[in-house]
A and B are shown apart, each in its own frame.
Chain A
Amino acid sequence: MKAFTVSKAVTALMLAGLVLLPLYSQLSGNIFILTLFTRIVILALAAASLNLIMGFGGMMSFGHAAYLGIGGYAVGMLAQEGVGSGFIQFPVALAASATYALVIGALSLRTRGVYFIMITLAFAQMAYYVASGLARYGGDDGLTVYKRSDFSGLINLSNRTQFYYLCLACLFAVIVLIWRIANSRFGLVLQGLRSNEQRMQAIGFPAKRYQLVCFVISGTMCGLAGALLANNTDFVSPAVMYWTRSGDLMVMVILGGMGTLFGPVMGAVVFLLLEEFLSQITEYWALIMGPLLLLIVLFGRGGIMGLLGRLNRG
């Protein structure tokens, strides 16, 4: 357990890189990279939250981007109505996401397998169309957030470095939380249900109750990512909830390694960096990205984390 492994070394390097990034940005004067990585860290947080239900809970939710929108709109709508305090905006964003997850989860968890995937997708698309219909809040065009969440001088979200570290701190906090959950009683029940639901029922666990709570925790975490994302772009639109975004999040999780602690972070970093640099080379970047992802998923079962793990053994 304590031994040195390639995957641990790579993970440590990645984390160190994330922590030191603002320093590099400062020294090199490259502001763009800090903006890019703020986005990466926020989406890594969203991917990590999806990994909790997908990787540990075995529930393939295809509507996870809905929470990005709900968290974002909570911030944007409150800002529009003159409530600029982050101490109100963020709790509202989390509570709204949790409530949505509770309702959607309770309905979706009546189904299994491919139906679960379809119903979570359907609900997210519904959220997308509802947001498109909010004429007061920009409708299709989206809503500009003129002022970032105000934390009364505690932290200044308009300062790039401070905002980056806030996002990174949120990501680390969520990962620590998932780590604790994964090994807790709750986490073991969850992973047991992923492995064999019939067996878990037979030894006395009410499956749905545990899965629903997991669904809500995961949705709340992703709502946090949504609130951060709206602050990052100073803008929120229905597009953040579109199903392709949910798909991106799934790809990040699978690419990095489902059911691993740092896999989704790795997946988000690789996915978004690839997207960024390939799109600079050619506008047909998706033609390169697609096969690349296919190769990793085909030959690296368990994603990047799985590949690194095998390197060590091989």
Chain B
Amino acid sequence: MAEPLLRVEKLVRRFGGIVATDNVSLDVAAGELHAIIGPNGAGKTTLISQLTGHLEPHSGSVSLAGRDITYLPAYRRCALGLARSFQITSLLLDFTAADNVALAAQAHAGHSFRFFANARKEKGLRDAAHAALDRVGLLHRAEVVVSRLSHGERRELELAVALASKPKLLLLDEPMAGLGVTESQRMVKLLQELRKEVSIVLVEHDMPAVFALADRISVLVYGRVIASGDPAAIRANDDVRRAYLGDQHVVTHHG
């Protein structure tokens, strides 16, 4: 089997006495859409934060395309091809949509110690921004300041920002959070398109969306992966059923 794009091995992260990430191992193959699901408080965001570099694990390792990135700061991981979206929208509110995306493109187009030329007139950056905005269907809103965009549009913009860095792997932390039905459907459609171009790790609560999109699903409960497999296998898994019925004590005995 080829080297997986993302390999997580025996990752452990504690908060005081609570083990938020408990010996988590998982592989994401190139081209795969790997979903991580689990009840609230299962440690999904903690796990994602260790993948993006916002939180350091206590032990274990994370590697991207064979390179150990466990302790690299967030900005270095991004340079290696790891892009993320945030669960709670995190954008530059006082910048236009195009500026937000262009900055992401700029981060990957050499250093930014250039003090004189007008960056908003750099054609390469603007074109990249417009292409990414077009990709998520936001091109007509390019010159609108983010604080005037709707919640749904901001979620799409998050994606465009992530795409503009031309990532190998996209970490999406609940991209459907807070979206209405139609907006969710648009997002699913969009992700179906994107997955053809880029590998994706998707953390999501919206089960229909997860089962429609994922190649593989890992189920996280109390910080542990209790099951990992294709959607059909996960659907049939007894442990997973118990976890989602709320009877989590049973699950912990299996580990």
Question: Which residue numbers of A lie inside 8 Å of B, CB to CB?
Answer: 180-181, 183-189, 191-192, 195-196, 198-207, 210, 213
Contacts and interface: CB of A to CB of B under 8 A. Distances in A.
Nearest to A203: B104
B120 A210 contact: no
A201 B103 contact: no
Given A199-B91, A204-B165, A186 B75 contact: no
B90 A199 contact: yes
A192 B103 contact: yes
A188 B100 CA distance: 10
B75 A192 contact: no
A203 B161 contact: yes
Contact of A186 (B54, B73, B84, B114): B114
A181 B122 CA distance: 15
Interface residues of B, number: 36
Which residue, A181, A188, A192, A204, has most C-beta atoms of chain B within 10 A?
Answer: A204
B182 interface: no
B79 interface: yes
Interface stretch (B56-64, B105-113, B227-235): B105-113
A191, A202, A204 — most chain B CB neighbours (10 Å): A202
Contacts of A206: 73, 75
Given A184-B119, A188-B112, A203-B83, 15 more contacts: A184-B117, A185-B106, A185-B112, A185-B114, A186-B113, A187-B115, A188-B103, A189-B103, A203-B103, A203-B161, A203-B165, A204-B79, A205-B75, A205-B112, A207-B75
B86 to A, nearest CB: 8
Contacts of B106: 185, 188-189
Interface string B78-98: 110001101000111111000
B74 interface: yes
24 contacts: A183-B120, A184-B115, A185-B106, A187-B119, A189-B112, A192-B92, A195-B92, A195-B94, A199-B91, A199-B161, A201-B74, A201-B78, A202-B74, A202-B83, A202-B84, A203-B83, A203-B104, A203-B107, A204-B108, A204-B165, A205-B112, A206-B73, A206-B75, A207-B75
B163 to A, nearest CB: 11
Given A195-B94, A196-B93, A202-B90, A188 B75 contact: no
A92 to B, nearest CB: 23
Nearest to A189: B112
Contact of B103 (A180, A181, A198, A200): A200
Contacts of B15: none
A188 B84 CA distance: 21
Contacts of B119: 183-185, 187-188
Contacts of A184: 114-119
Nearest to B99: A188
B52 interface: yes
Contacts of B108: 204
Contacts of A198: 54, 90
A201 B94 contact: no
A204 B78 contact: yes
Contacts of B90: 196, 198-199, 202
| Top-7 shortest CB links A-B | A204-B78, A204-B107, A185-B112, A195-B92, A185-B119, A203-B104, A185-B114
Nearest to B121: A183
Contacts of B122: 185
Contacts of A189: 103, 106, 112
A210 B112 CA distance: 8
Nearest to A198: B90
B109 to A, nearest CB: 9
Contacts of B116: 180-181, 184
Nearest to B93: A195
**Most chain B Cβ neighbours within 10 Å, of A192, A195, A203, A204:** A203
A200 B74 CA distance: 10
B113 to A, nearest CB: 6
Contacts of A186: 112-115
A202 B52 contact: yes
B152 to A, nearest CB: 19
A213 B115 CA distance: 11
Contacts of A207: 75
A199 B113 CA distance: 19
Interface string B152-171: 00000000010011000000
Contacts of B78: 201-204
A280 B37 CA distance: 72
A205 B73 CA distance: 10
A278 B94 CA distance: 38
A285 to B, nearest CB: 37
A112 B86 CA distance: 22
A192 B95 contact: yes
A185 B74 contact: no
B169 to A, nearest CB: 14
B119 to A, nearest CB: 4
A184 B102 CA distance: 13
Contacts of B161: 199, 203
Contacts of B118: 183-184
A213 B111 CA distance: 13
